Amino acid sequence: MEKEKPKIILVDDEQDTLDFLSYHLDRNGFEVRSATDGFKALTESRNFEPDIFLIDYMMPEMTGLEFLNYYKKANPDSKALFVFLTAKIDDNTQIETLDQGASDFIMKPVKPNVIVSRLNALLRSHNSFNRRQTDVLTFGDLIINPEYYTVHLDGNLLNLARKEFEILLLLASKPGKVFKREEILDQNWGEDIIISERNIDVHIYRIREKLNNRFIKTVKGIGYKFEE
């Protein structure tokens, strides 16, 4: 049986970029659709159900981040990954965008072999995450449900971004184990993805805020662990 191709929607207001990327991704085993703006991408996604959106960060009418937020609200059960193409982005904007659900950034000018490698690494990491944990985890009044990507604390549903959820699930899967920052990076982004360790610290800070500063402890000079 032929292996199912990963589905990807390219979104960029430059047709030359779409043609260039479509050609290389198709040659490397992706099923590709393209759109010149966010509204057309929404139309394309209705019957296509993509695994990945590869989106230009700055576009007229609807920016990449606006598209991400709109799509996630309209499709709360979707597990699609969002990768942004950008010529320049500062650290704070990158962290904020990652916190809202982005998976990665790829800098322009684009190199086809780099894009293919990064997308495949993301898919491997994402598929590994979906396989490694399916049981609901309960720690007193904290309930983590991997199947539905939900976290409840004291009976309240918490609003965690995808990467926040995945980091929390990783830590909670082995209470007491100390996870080094580089291990958290590898487990949740893959070895081929270039993300700074500062992003881990920011994600941990935001997770702690939502957990009322409970459960996650810092081990100085090493990393983080989950404690019941």
Tokens standing for residue 158: 């918490």
Handedness of CA 21, 166, 213, 174 (dihedral sign): negative
Beta strands in 87-197 (DSSP E): 104-107, 137-139, 142-145, 150-153, 156-157, 179-180
The pTM of the full predicted model, rounded to 2 decimals, is: 0.64
The residue that leads in pLDDT, 188 or 219, is: 219
Beta strands in the chain (DSSP E): 7-11, 31-35, 52-56, 81-86, 104-107, 137-139, 142-145, 150-153, 156-157, 179-180, 216-219, 223-226
pLDDT tens by residue, 164-177: 888 999 999 999 99
Of 7-11, 105-109, 116-120, which one has max mean pLDDT? Answer: 7-11
Residue 209 has pLDDT above 50, yes or no: yes
Beta carbons within 8 Å of 37's beta carbon, 6+ residues apart: 11, 13, 59, 60, 61, 62
How far is Cα 60 from Cα 63, in angstroms, rounded to an integer?
6
How far is Cα 96 from Cα 65, in angstroms, rounded to an integer?
10
How far is Cα 25 from Cα 30, in angstroms, rounded to an integer?
5
Mean per-residue pLDDT over the chain, rounded: 86
Which domains, ranges and CATH numbers included, belong to the chain? Answer: 7-130 (3.40.50.2300), 134-226 (1.10.10.10)
How far is Cα 223 from Cα 5, in angstroms, rounded to an integer?
37
Q: What is the pLDDT of residue 111?
A: 87
Tokens standing for residue 136: 């609901």
pLDDT tens by residue, 42-82: 999 988 989 999 999 988 889 999 999 999 888 877 888 99
Q: What is the pLDDT of residue 171?
A: 94
The residue that leads in pLDDT, 210 or 87, is: 210
Q: What is the pLDDT of residue 130?
A: 56
Residue 143 has pLDDT above 70, yes or no: yes
Residue 128 has pLDDT above 60, yes or no: no
